[in-house]
Structure 1
Amino acid sequence: MPRSGADLALLLLAGFRSLVDGAMTELAAQGHDDVRPVHDFAMRAIAAGADNASELGRRLSVSKQAAAKTIAVLQDRGYVSRGADPVDARRKRLEVTPLGFEVLRAGEAIFDELRHRWEERIGTAQLEVLEQHLTALLGESPIRLDTPGWLARDLGEPV
């Protein structure tokens, strides 16, 4: 019997969750137990040009206040800093620190290892077919940095 559309959505979510949980566990084992998935999204958005709380909030689809709280945490942990703006000396721009980039690279390496484990379980050809199908369905660049806001959004419906 074929699975339902809801089953497919839950399987895809479970796959995402499995990979992210595995990455968080390994990052913690490497000494980065203070990193959360939203921190990755935020650092990537900052590295891509979100250099203030308003812009980070827009890119993550969260409020400016939520972005500011995330920035404060990332600054406190040494993953981002505020540097001088070359155009406006009165303004401070957000920047990912070398430690922040180290954590991003470590996370990428961990995800590569987790992918390799999946490859060992189902075989190279099957994993490549899965990736090809997902790419055909989602496009070449399915990455959306607004996922934190999308997951937390209030649709105005009763819970």
Structure 2
Amino acid sequence: MSSDPPGYELPLRLFAAFRLLIDGLHDELARQGHPDVRPVHGFALQAVGPDGATAAEIGRRLGVSKQAAGKTIDSLERLGYVTREPDVQDSRRKVVRLTDRGRDCLARSAAIFDRLRDEWEAVLGRDRLRSFEDDLSRLTDARPLRVDVPGWLGHT
């Protein structure tokens, strides 16, 4: 009989590690003045990018519909993380841009993730963590990350 763990444990452990990092990030973001930011907001802020993007572009980058992206953008706008501005090249379109608050949230997130990674390195060791990251990169290749997890998990 094999002493290897059952195959179903791998995705559960990967998901648990993901949740540990994301929950740690959001706990710290709340302490640093961003209590209303949710995981989907962080992915959307990344999708907006430094040059801004339309709702359709954000939806494509996130792997969700333009309508789903629009709802997230509405939430981010209410919270003060983004603004919508007319597109100078096409007045029918709006470009979503990060506000100072949005840029602050992303900068703090990057610093917090660096600190969380350092905590993992302290537990696993530098070489093991780097090897783990390299292995994950090899396994996940260059496919874009889809963040439509709630819809995906509920798909029948």
Per the TM superposition, whether the score is higher than 0.5 is yes
* In 1, Cα distance between equivalents of 2:95 and 2:83: 8
Aligned residues: 153
Aligned counterpart for 1:31 among listed residues 21, 30, 33? 33
> Alpha-carbon deviations, 1:18-56, whole Å to 9, x = none?
000000000001010011110011111111777233332
2:151 match: 152
Q: TM-score, normalised by structure 2?
A: 0.86
Instruction: Kindly report which structure 2 residues correspond to 1:67-146, keeping only aligned pairs within 5 A, or say none.
Output: 67-139=69-141, 141=142, 144=145, 146=146
How far residue 11 of structure 1 moved from its aligned partner, in angstroms, is 0.7
Q: In structure 1, what residue type is equivalent to 2:13?
A: L
* In 2, Cα distance between equivalents of 1:127 and 1:54: 36
> Alpha-carbon deviations, 1:93-152, whole Å to 9, x = none?
11112211110110111011001011111211221221122222223x4651x22x1442
Gaps of 5+ in 1: none
* In 2, Cα distance between equivalents of 1:90 and 1:4: 54
Q: TM-score, normalised by structure 1?
A: 0.85
For the 8 Å contact 1:23–1:107, the answer to whether it is kept is yes
Instruction: Kindly report which structure 2 residues correspond to 1:16-55, keeping only aligned pairs within 5 A, or say none.
Output: 16-47=18-49, 51-55=53-57
Specify whether residues 143 and 53 from structure 1 end up closer, same or farther in structure 2 by C-alpha distance, changes over 3 A only: closer
For the 8 Å contact 1:50–1:56, the answer to whether it is kept is no
Q: Structure 1: which 4+ aligned runs deviate by more than 3 Å? A: none
**Identity across the alignment (%):** 43
* In 2, Cα distance between equivalents of 1:95 and 1:130: 35
Specify whether residues 64 and 136 from structure 1 end up closer, same or farther in structure 2 by C-alpha distance, changes over 3 A only: closer
SS at match of 1:5: coil
Gaps of 5+ in 2: none
